[in-house]
Structure 1
């Protein structure tokens, strides 16, 4: 096998990688008040900017998926998608992308299939921005133990008292958006 050599100037240092992946906001985007939804979206955008993600992908769940996850009725997918499109235009950020794969499927999409699709489209590393309630629901799935090894979770707020045992087990794979993780603090030193 032939060796290839490359010449670089004396003292060359490779550029430091400043961007670290894609942040996917995986949620129903259903809120009783529109102001609450806008606050959640703005907080996700702030987190994406603070942590230097290449994209903030809004991933609204289809009502069939939500029906199986929560048993709570929600607005139709297209109405929730319209409000997300309006917020995206209002924010004016090129960082925000709306993923409409579940809208095209028009049926229940398992969590692991959604993550596989996101990995194929956006590459890695993949970070899911979720609420603590959604994290508890996702941790209850059998596929969670395999999926959490490929992704990291960022919780929008600190979790309450009831934390799923799988979230406890994989505590190193998630952190809270407002708090600096131990890994991040060690890198900053």
Structure 2
């Protein structure tokens, strides 16, 4: 605490920060375009989130989730950093947990790390395919009551657990 007295006008109240919470874009970012990243930034700004966290998955995580071939983690991460630099986005963070671990990271571990590291409430932004995968895990019911989802709508099947917890997620469409 400072010994210097601060003078403020009578009745002064510090301005409240309207920006709350964190939105996490959880994806491999293999096929994500700059337009889709701009859409994530738009949602973050429109909904007044304090932080937008881009969470690229490690190759081993993608392999376990979808069996889809994916480029090296550092190449996808570099693409995200380049997009961030081009937009001069101060409130955007590229999460490095999976890059440090260099192996498969279960979504439970990732969510635990994110909820301990970033300001609450925690929202996940996912593609419809990723949301269906998340809903198929046994820990989905434990996590869906702690977080909320934004699902980038795609035509197709919606997992029964997503239907069951439809009040905990919201479909969003890119403009």
TM-score (norm 1): 0.81
- In structure 1, the residue matched to 2:20 is 20
TM-fit CA distance, 1:37: 1.2
1:183 corresponds in structure 2 to none
Secondary structure in 2 matching 1:129: strand
Give ranges in structure 2 of 5+ residues lacking alignment. Answer: 1-9
Runs of 4+ off more than 3 Å: 12-17
Q: Which residue of 1 aligns with 2:5?
A: none
CA drift at 1:93: 1.4
Q: CA deviation at 1:19?
A: 2.3
d(CA) in 1 for partners of 2:24, 2:89: 15
Matched, 1:30 2:14: no
Shift of 1:178: 4.4
Q: Does 1:119 align with 2:115?
A: yes
Among 34, 42, 46, the alignment partner of 2:42 is 46
CA contact (8 A) 1:47 1:177 kept: no
Q: Which residue is equivalent to 2:155?
A: 160
Runs of 5+ consecutive residues of structure 1 not aligned to the other structure: 1-8, 180-189
Q: CA deviation at 1:123?
A: 3.1
SS in 2 for 1:145: helix
Of 157, 168, 171, 1:173 maps to 168
Counterpart position of 1:135: 131
Count of aligned positions: 165
Residues 20 and 119, structure 2, Cα contact 8 Å, conserved in 1: no
User: TM-score w.r.t. structure 2 length?
Assistant: 0.87
